[in-house]
Chain A
């Protein structure tokens, strides 16, 4: 009987040699006369264990990791195909504490199934959400999304139900559903993992959105930095069309939904929804002034629902299990689960899906196990390049939209980047301006010019030229950018800058003893 081996095809696993490991496992098994089938899966998100190889045994799956190519022969000799003992044996992957402690609603299939197989998806509960949705009318679906408390997971946290309702009620012969998969924030990779590991979850969520809002066409706008996700999505969509879960007759319901994936071209600003729509239309990714909101005038001027990958992929679970079951997770006005991405200088980084309310310290210490370098944690950036830097004394802040905002930070897309004590916060603040200068679309003055002036002024601070006066200037500039920018790019760049200055003042006055003549 053939034994099934599961080897991830997720970009992290590939970056650590998963393709070579898969080839070596196949060749090694063949040499030993073992009959093996290799299934390429996504990643479970325990990234320090990648490539994590699993084997199907009568007692369930057994995991091994991190498997390097030079371990393969020893693993096969130790009886990997029957779950044999070896130093890299991790046992039942679902019992690894890092995973067992999580509340995986959105990610429960990721790393488990063959991502491009409709059959495998359905065998693991896929399309039950869409089946439930097809029994409801449009209002019923929108009501479920509203009552679940789901808020946009892209960063802004806007209630998804309100957006869906607006598009549903909008008049228009052609409406669109657009997925914002331009996951540009450093420290975030949940969208990538989902698209590489469970793309049908996204396809199902977008299909439900199409049926609820009356949109028959959908686009996934994917960043070009994700070539593996692009290939997986294209394959999944083609398989979905063949299986009748996309196209003119979704699951025999007579309802239509056509889906296409489009590549961005390396512009961070295209993660902003109006800029994304301009780009999708084939134009420069310049931010649009709102109103009109995209829900009423979006892609090609038609009513368009734009949501993030994590928003769409929460929806099938909500429809299958009910709005209340989802709302039972979380705290305050942040309901459900948040796929947290723990990254940077951390020992055990990865994907941690937990109900809102877990604190930064719990994530970093209990899951992360400290820094990879072994040095003390000094700063933690939460929510991407536009998110605040937190010092140690604020790490007990819970991950919750309102609690983070109260500390002048943001949840963003749930990325947490850990820095050890070698970090220089003045250069991090400078980088925030530099990044904004590189990526600004150029439409509004505070962002376009402010970012460049910010770099120049920060350079003076770093050089020790009148640091107090120049830091005052930076604070003033940040106020103008916050209040006067058209979108979050210019509006939030002050967040990393000011948090660095506020919480790590000593890094901005290092060269401050220089004589004034240095000017």
Chain B
């Protein structure tokens, strides 16, 4: 199941046009593009710059400053693992080594089958119930490697 559409400059132009009336439209546009295409294509930078009367450098700076925005397509599903202190106190570092070992990839990487991309995050606000994760935006508390595997199996169906 494809969650994202293939990149299309025409479609991107339409999405950008829906947001230009907003004050400070850059971030809402980037979020909308990433939600549609799964990443922010290089080709979007001049389109946004043109629509918002900004320089390409300003838009490029914005895309690269924020951890959320990706320059390349990611896996079909997104796993965000919390690496912050409250989860560390519940042994998240060890758990993450086990999870990455099972998935066979590192931070910011995608599994060999393209099924999942793993991103580190610093706090999901589930700090009394760590370790915590988000799988395609759905929270998982008291995380174990088995629970993550089950959640990934579920979203793949």
Contact = CB atoms under 8 A, between A and B. Distances in A.
Interface in B124-141: 124-130, 132, 134, 137-141
Contact of B86 (A186, A264, A438): A186
Given A262-B28, A350-B128, A225 B23 contact: no
Interface string B23-35: 1111110110000
Interface in A413-446: 415, 417-420, 423, 428, 431, 435, 438-439
B124 A225 contact: yes
B84 interface: yes
B39 to A, nearest CB: 13
A265 B67 CA distance: 6
**Main SS of the interface on chain A?**
mixed
Interface in A229-270: 262-268
A497 to B, nearest CB: 13
Contacts of A266: 66-68, 121
Interface stretch (B7-15, B57-65, B97-105, B109-117): B57-65
Contacts of B123: 183-188, 225
A282 interface: yes
A345 B89 contact: yes
B127 A187 contact: yes
A346 B128 contact: yes
Contacts of B138: 14
Contacts of A342: 128
Size class of the contact patch on chain B: 35 or more
B66, B68, B87, B89, most chain A CB atoms within 10 A: B89
A192 B125 contact: yes
Interface of A: 11-12, 14-16, 47-48, 50, 183-189, 191-193, 224-228, 262-268, 279-285, 299-300, 341-346, 349-350, 372, 381, 385, 415, 417-420, 423, 428, 431, 435, 438-439
Q: Which 9 A-B pairs have the closest CB atoms?
A: A349-B128, A282-B26, A15-B141, A186-B84, A343-B127, A265-B66, A344-B89, A266-B67, A15-B139
Interface of B: 23-28, 30-31, 52, 58, 61-62, 65-69, 80, 84-90, 121-130, 132, 134, 137-142
25 contacts: A14-B139, A183-B125, A186-B86, A186-B123, A187-B84, A187-B85, A187-B86, A193-B125, A224-B68, A225-B123, A227-B137, A265-B31, A265-B66, A265-B67, A265-B69, A281-B23, A283-B61, A299-B23, A343-B127, A343-B128, A343-B130, A418-B89, A428-B85, A435-B122, A438-B122
